[in-house]
Structure 1
Amino acid sequence: MPLEQSRRTLLVAAALLPLTGGRAEAAPRRAKDYYDDAAELAGKDPVLRNLVKALSPGAQMPEVKAPKPLKIFDNVAVVSTGFVSATALLSSGGVILLDALGTPDEAKKIIVPQLRSLGVDPAKIKYVVAMHGHSDHFGGAQYLADRYGARVMMTRADWKLVTTGSPARDLEIADGQRLTLGDTTIAFHHTPGHTPGTVSAIFPVRWKGRPHTAMLWGGTNPPTATAEKRTYVSSVLAFAAHMRRAGVDVELNNHGLSDHGLVRMEQLRGNGGSANPFIIGRSRAQRFMKVMEIMMRGRIASDLEAG
């Protein structure tokens, strides 16, 4: 086996174990060591490389043109401003909307007409889930609640973040809660770090009639405080375990610039559905989470090095 291939194989194997396992603790690792390991684990994988870039210090999301709406699975539709996306999970009993973009105007002019353009009746939105309590994720929720009677869901911790002009306090999401609508059950897991009450979801999807299991990470951008970054790492580890038990093989994100998601939408649109780039497989889904963990450990190390 060539030396470089051997080195990469060993790194991947080591990275799938806890970072503290089998390593002397006497010499703390530098931030650069973590960033290099994450880049090595990502290799040439465009999804993982994009994640490394998104979690690097000083990362900025560029302004991009909003994509056209798209059904990325038989039962999943995505509408987006480019910066942030709303994901509609379509069930026999109605629609669960994960995030609601940033304003009532975006709900009125993007979510409603773009869902209709995909053959989805927005009047069937039964639940709007704010994956965390930042306005770009709940801004359109009250409009949808007022117009269609949708119930708005958020964790108790993040309901406390919202201010005047935000949706009226409605349903609270408990850690591990399952929501069933028609033929679909979605599981919510608290993944604090980005905000105190961020949730991430695991749910069934279908591609050309074949079943898969998807995850949607609820809040990607690292928090400022070191303690909250440590919380973020704990959330990554816990959610990766939930993913492993559920057999997650599909990765989704509400910020498509963080995970190559916008590019993958165009790939899917362009290939006529011959292959679905959001189906990444179970081992690659676990590597995605491992890259996230390593990058966050690097951000913690960067904080400590900065004093």
Structure 2
Amino acid sequence: MELRQLQLFLEVAKHKSITKAAESMHLSQPALSKSIKALEDELGMKLIIRTNKTSDLTDAGRIVLEYSQKMAAVLNEMKTTLNDITNLSMGQIDIGLPPFIGSLFFPRVMAKFHHAFPNIELNITEYGGARVVKSVEEGEFELGVAVLPIDEQQFDVYPIVEEEMKLLVYKDHPLATRNVVDIKELKDEEFIFYHEEFALNKIMRNQFIAAGFEPKILFQSSQWDLMTEMVAANLGVTILPDSICNRAFNTDLRVIDLKEDILWRLAVITKQGRYISNAGRTFIDFILKEPL
């Protein structure tokens, strides 16, 4: 068994397609299929179920995926440690970033960081918050940005943002003239809500359940601008962080305080016990000092 075979297998699992994985790795599809078949023959088990449209993992494939991810993380950590030992004036950071957060704060921060450290390459992947946390845990990302709370026994946490959550309604909504609304008053409202993979989905669901009801969800999205425009079209209400509400310039919207103290808290996270590169530590120090 070769590391290259496991790397190719990881790519197929990531894309759920041999064709797309081959394109990503700049290989021919037959060559990639041959490598996967050789791995299956060596292990004596089928790892991938091939169909016309997708390549799904078998139970054995999921086990191989788990161990392949661990091996890839260890290999990346070895390379990072060796690079730091040589005191190179360059580096690379793999960062997981939820789309909500990336569009709000990070373009300006990334630009300033790049100007300050032009030889450090930032590889940014956008995932929902829950997936970012899982990917940092599995070693896919050296750093991630996550919504708190998370398990601080597994991760080192560096807080960077704390904001209040606000209610967003259409200008003619019955609550539009109010300054403050109790979350219990939203029991019969239809919500424009966050996609399941976003940490805010779970956070706000728990708030609603604590208030005694399950939210009526009309539509789910991963794009805050689409959510605000749907509210402006009088399709429902939503609850978003203050900074997002401040960027919603549609005059048909009204922003209202919530009686409950619901906070949106963001942090840079790293896996506890993992070696963090000089480049990664430089980025953490930079973002903690740079106002977002």
TM-score (norm 1): 0.24
**What's the TM-score, normalizing by structure 2?**
0.25
